[in-house]
Amino acid sequence: NIVLTQSPATLSVTPGESVSLSCRASQSISTSIHWYQQKSNESPRLLIKYASQSISGIPSRFSGSGSGTDFTLSINRVESEDFSIYYCQQSYSSLYTFGAGTKLELK
Amino acid sequence: EVQILETGGGLVKPGGSLRLSCATSGFNFNDYFMNWVRQAPGKGLEWVAQIRNKNYNYATYYAESLEGRVTISRDDSKSSVYLQVSSLRAEDTAIYYCTRSRVSFDYWGQGVMVTVSS
């Protein structure tokens, strides 16, 4: 199975800061990585597909980058509604896997 | 509007079985793959199973941790997908989400809780 390692596990920030969340794959997966946001007691929501492709309805402050094994989700100027958990997921293998998540919390 | 609704959860004894259902509407079901993803209390997301559409011969894929105990199926005439889970264990306690995909999971249901306990 392809293992996805997300870091940091927790990121404490103040609103207005810009942040980068990391997702590293155990083997090269081209750009077959997708990012999700999960707020407390809600279903996950797709933010970014194929590493950097935007999703309709998602604020433009969310962006993604990377290829191969290293991927980044960036949030430009964090807003209060962004405090939640972020997961990466790979679709390179038909045995899909998720990272363990990064919790974005209020400092 | 895309709608995904899971049903069939509840309290099950260890060793028991459960069939989850997922009814969808608002999109052409035949065009999409369907998946089940689960989340144990306080834990992260775990992909469970996928069933592809007719164009891919309804191929199925399962997480290795569950293979042999789960079966995913679909009924295109009802725009529905199902998950049969057997030999349930305490560690199967989770919210089970139904999601659609082509590659990424772009729409999710609200989830259904399965609790395995004696």
* Residue B67 φ/ψ, nearest 5 degrees: -60, 135
Question: Which neighbouring-strand residues pair with A45?
Answer: A37
User: pLDDT tens for residues B92-108?
Assistant: 999 999 999 998 999 99
Q: Which amino acid is at B87?
A: S
CA distance B88 to B6: 19
Give the model's pLDDT for residue A45.
98
- B-interface mutation test, from A84, A87, A96, most B Cβ less than 10 A away: A96
What residues of B are in contact with residue A45 (Cβ under 8 Å)? 108
Q: Do A97 and B111 touch (CB under 8 A)?
A: no
Query: In the prediction, which pLDDT does A46 show?
Result: 98
Helix and strand numbers (H, E) in chain A are 0, 11
pLDDT digits (tens, 9 = 90+) for A19-28: 999 999 999 9
Provide CB contacts within 8 A for B67, sequence distance 6+: none
For position A75, what pLDDT does the model report?
98
Q: What is the pLDDT of residues A75-86, one digit of tens each?
A: 999 999 999 999
Q: What's the gap in Å between the CA of B62 and the closest CA on chain A?
A: 7
Q: What per-residue confidence (pLDDT) applies to B67? A: 78
Stretch B11-15: mean pLDDT: 97
| DSSP H helix total and E strand total for chain B | 0, 11
Euclidean distance between CA atoms B22 and B53, whole angstroms: 15
CA distances from B104 to A12, A18, A97, B117 (A): 28, 25, 12, 33
Interface probe with A: pick from B3, B5, B45, most Cβ of A within 10 Å: B45
CA torsion through residues B13, B8, B106, A39, sign: negative
Query: Looking at residue A29, what is its pLDDT?
Result: 97
Q: Note the pLDDT of residue B34.
A: 98
- The predicted pLDDT at position B103 comes to 87
A96 closest CB neighbour out of B44, B47, B110: B47
CA distance A25 to A57: 27
Please answer yes or no on whether B50 and A91 come within 8 Å at the CB atom. no
